[in-house]
Chains A and B, each alone.
Chain A
């Protein structure tokens, strides 16, 4: 056993899967009568060719780091949290309520309060599915899907009936106070000179990096992480060891939901400056692709989030400069999920077979 080198699992297979996803996307582009090479050029120059592009790429990546980590943490406890979308939506509500409730004197204090609000609301939205899974065995995938829809309805109600300023037409909250606006990359020392004012990437990016590090510590260095991983690998063995399934499922899902909810400091507090309908824009679902691609490791999640940030920004540019709609990104995202997740065995089986055969051959030689 165990004759496949580690780099095959963490690097070769994900990269090959990604490659297949891109090749198929290229074929799709060809089929709709566009030039895939040109498309890539537009995407690269649009997303990575300028500080402006980077400012957007990293802004999107920040969202995806949070939602990717959310999926990854739950996954380590063998819970497939497909509810990142709803949890991030509720996180937005939490952030908005916190920011509107009090005249915050400075963005730094507001940020801490908003983080607590976002994480709490996100965690709360994960809590019910988690509880039902832990106590009553209700399939968490289905309940989190249901909670995405319930969350959307709830937000809709809150924006239309409760939070909408008197006289305003669109379903959105009032603007937050200027004092709560997060410094963007333009406002930061050292790097500020490279980025223009309009760039949305903000200090949340660094919070996301911190979250990566903390998740790594949590999963691989703490007792709690040990219990989460143990439960995720073998539920029966975890019970034998006295690890409480209810505790692990609840804690992992609360952390997961909290991370998804934290995303709101980026898109709502950092960029939108008010809460609108569908501010999450599918980032919760992209988190699934990001976690799969990144093999549920914070470093992998970070890299995959940057990749999807690039795709997202590049896709937007594509829609502007060519006739390819930005839905191409949805297709690429689907293909990445398909090949790194569902079709994983397609490449893995032959590759592992190859390495086992090679190891055996070496042994005999």
Chain B
């Protein structure tokens, strides 16, 4: 394997890791506020469809992005209504959101485009095209550093850069702002927030809305960046892998970057080398696909550092008598 191949695989890992990263950060906001979200998959799917559909009709990826975020946010609000207002079971609500998206997208896609549940192929301004960073062409032939800059760092769509920028931003919001302090507090002990005269409901809805927006970005990237249009069930379990990454990262933004890029790398490797022969054993592609899930189970089992979720996670907030 030469250096160029490694760069190629890494480049592919970044592309594949980006939707995971966005979805993972989406889940981070919700779960840090004490709302479990296993509905990331559904929100991404909804965003993928609406962004794909609107971009196809208008030919404008930015309008697609808005529509994608809108679609994802509407499901986020359903989840908020169930989890916050009606104090329902957040896991059940998440399951419902996933099915709602999976049925609804095909239903509407068929009704609007009659292409068997897909949107028309996107091209030109309908997609978020790769951006060539300044100087990328010039340094292309400089060994190592130049190659890394022009082939790995440069040449991604705007949403990839947004996703990477979201990591420090999320960290800063969470740990350096009033909103972040309250958000973390509401996920650990909502009573502390309530008795301090801050609305638990408003905080949690805000968190759920941010989750909707970020999952919207993730889905939009799938349909308008990674692929060129929406295809039925195109999220293909990425929402769950993002959830796995969130646990893997123990609900922290910087490790979330590491976890999602690792999972992206695994996917990139298995795409390129369906079967990996290690001499002793032959790793089939199915194993590579299952690795993120297996790793998450191992982490959850606490064999490699215990993953402790926010303490108030999953419990609806009811004022004590």
Given a CB threshold of 8 Å, the question of whether A touches B is answered with yes
Q: Which residues of B contact A31 (CB under 8 A)?
A: 111
Residue from B88, B90, B309 with most neighbouring chain A CB atoms (10 Å): B88
* Residues in B10-39 with C-beta less than 8 Å from chain A: 38
- Any B CB within 8 A of the CB of A341: yes
Chain B binder among A92-100, A238-246, A297-305, A326-334: A326-334
Question: Quick one: closest A residue to B42, CB to CB?
Answer: A334
B5 at the interface (CB under 8 A from A): no
Complex interface: chain A residues within 8 A of B289 (CB): 153
CA distance A129 to B309 in the complex (A): 17
B221 within 8 A of A: no
> Which of A136, A160, A342 interacts with B86 by CB under 8 Å?
A342
Other-chain contact of B102, A330, A335, A344 (Cβ < 8 Å): A330
- Convert A317-351 into 0s and 1s, putting 1 for each residue whose CB lies closer than 8 angstroms to a CB of B: 00000011101111111110110011111100000
Kindly supply a per-residue 1/0 record for chain A positions 278-294, scoring 1 wherever the CB is within 8 Å of any chain B CB and 0 otherwise: 00000001001000100
Q: How distant is the Cα of A82 from the Cα of B94 in the complex, in angstroms? A: 11
| Contact assessment for B96 and A341 in the assembled complex, using a CB-CB cutoff below 8 Å | yes
Inter-chain CA distance A350–B113, complex, in Å, is 42
Are B287 and A334 neighbours in the complex by a CB distance under 8 Å? Answer: no
Of B82, B111, B301, which one neighbours A343 at CB under 8 angstroms?
A: B82
Q: Does B58 contact A (CB under 8 A)?
A: no
Contact A337 B86 (CB under 8 A): no
Which of B140-148, B179-187, B208-216, B239-247 makes up part of the contact surface?
Answer: B239-247
Contacting residues, chain B, for A333 (C-beta < 8 A): 99, 103
Determine the chain A residues whose CB is within 8 A of the CB of B38 once the complex forms: 141-142, 145
CB <8 Å contact, B99 and A146:
no
Report how far A33 CA is from B38 CA in the complex, Å.
32
B106 within 8 A of A: yes
B3: shortest Cβ distance to chain A, in Å? Answer: 31
Is the Cβ of A328 less than 8 Å from the Cβ of B100? no
Q: Which residue of B lies closest to A151 (CB)?
A: B290
Segment at the A interface, from B125-133, B194-202, B261-269, B291-299? B291-299
A198 to B232: give the CA distance in the assembly, Å: 30
Whether a CB of chain B sits under 8 angstroms from the CB of A218 is no
Report A341 CB to chain B, min CB distance, Å: 4
Complex CA–CA separation, A148 to B85 (angstroms):
31
With an 8 A cutoff between CB atoms, is A356 at the interface? no
Q: Does B276 contact A (CB under 8 A)?
A: no
CB-defined contacts of A346 to chain B, threshold 8 Å: 86
Complex: A143 Cα to B293 Cα, angstroms:
9
Question: Which B residues, 67 to 108, have Cβ-Cβ distances below 8 Å to chain A?
Answer: 78, 81-83, 86-93, 95-100, 102-104, 106-108
By CB atoms of chain B within 10 A, which of A128, A139, A324, A329 has the most? A139
A139 to B306, CA, bound (A): 12
A33, chain B: closest CB distance, angstroms: 7
Number of interchain pairs (Cβ within 8 Å): 151
| Residue among A138, A288, A342 with most chain B CB within 10 A | A342
B93 contacts A150, C-beta separation under 8 Å:
no
B280-321 to A contact mask, C-beta < 8 Å, 1/0: 000010110110011011001110000001000000000000
Please name all residues of chain A whose beta carbon is closer than 8 Å to the beta carbon of B99 when the two chains form the complex.
Answer: 285, 330-331, 333-334, 337
Q: In the complex, what's the smallest C-beta–C-beta distance from B232 to chain A, in angstroms?
A: 8
| Contact with B103, one of A128, A145, A330 (Cβ below 8 angstroms) | A330
Q: Which interface residue of A137, A328, A330 has the most chain B CB atoms within 10 A?
A: A330
A156 within 8 A of B: yes
Q: A292–B100 Cα gap in the complex (Å)? A: 16
* Contact call A292/B290, Cβ cutoff below 8 A: no
Chain A residues near B88: list those with CB within 8 A: 341-345
Known: A153-B287, A157-B284. A288 touches B95 (CB 8 A): yes
Is A342 a contact of B82 with CB atoms below 8 Å? yes
Residues 131-176 (chain A) with a chain B CB within 8 angstroms? 132, 136-139, 141-143, 145-147, 149-150, 153-154, 156-157, 160-161
- In the complex formed, the residue of A with least CB distance to B295 is A146
A298 to B81, CA, bound (A): 30
| Minimum CB–CB distance for A294 against chain B, Å | 14
Report B-chain residues with C-beta under 8 Å of the C-beta of A337.
92, 95-96, 99
Cβ-defined contact, A145 with B240, below 8 A: yes
A293 to B108, CA, bound (A): 26
User: Is the Cβ of B96 less than 8 Å from the Cβ of A331?
Assistant: no
Closest A residue to B241 by beta carbon equals A149
Cβ contacts under 8 Å, A146 to chain B:
240, 244, 293-294, 296-297, 300
Q: A80 contacts the other chain (Cβ, under 8 Å)?
A: yes
Chain A residues in 8 Å Cβ range of B83: 342
Q: Which of A143, A157, A328 contacts B107 (CB 8 A)?
A: A328
* B297→A285 contact, CB < 8 A: no
> Among B82, B88, B96, B243, which residue has the most Cβ atoms of chain A within 10 A?
B96
* B301 pairs with A136, CB closer than 8 A: yes
List chain B residues, Cβ under 8 A from A82. Answer: 91, 95
Enumerate chain B residues within 8 angstroms of A190, measured Cβ to Cβ.
none
Query: Which residue of the partner chain, among B92, B102, B104, contacts A341 with CB atoms under 8 Å?
Result: B92
- Most A CB atoms within 10 A — which of B89, B97, B297? B297
State whether the Cβ of B237 lies closer than 8 Å to any Cβ in chain A: yes
- Asked if B192 is an interface residue, CB under 8 A from chain A, the answer is no
Is the CB–CB distance between A327 and B107 below 8 Å?
yes
A338-B96, A343-B81, A343-B82 known; A150-B107 Cβ under 8 A: no
Q: Is A224's beta carbon under 8 Å from chain B?
A: no
Alpha-carbon separation in the docked complex, A32 to B240 (Å): 30
Chain A residue contacts of B190, Cβ below 8 A? none
Give the 3 A-B CB pairs with smallest separation, nearest first.
A330-B103, A334-B99, A342-B93
Q: List 22 A-B contacts (CB under 8 A).
A: A32-B107, A80-B91, A136-B300, A137-B302, A138-B302, A142-B296, A145-B243, A147-B293, A150-B297, A153-B286, A153-B293, A154-B286, A285-B95, A327-B102, A327-B110, A329-B103, A333-B99, A341-B95, A342-B86, A342-B92, A343-B88, A344-B86
Q: A residues near B, CB below 8 A?
A: 28, 31-33, 80, 82, 128-129, 132, 136-139, 141-143, 145-147, 149-150, 153-154, 156-157, 160-161, 285, 288, 292, 323-325, 327-335, 337-338, 341-346
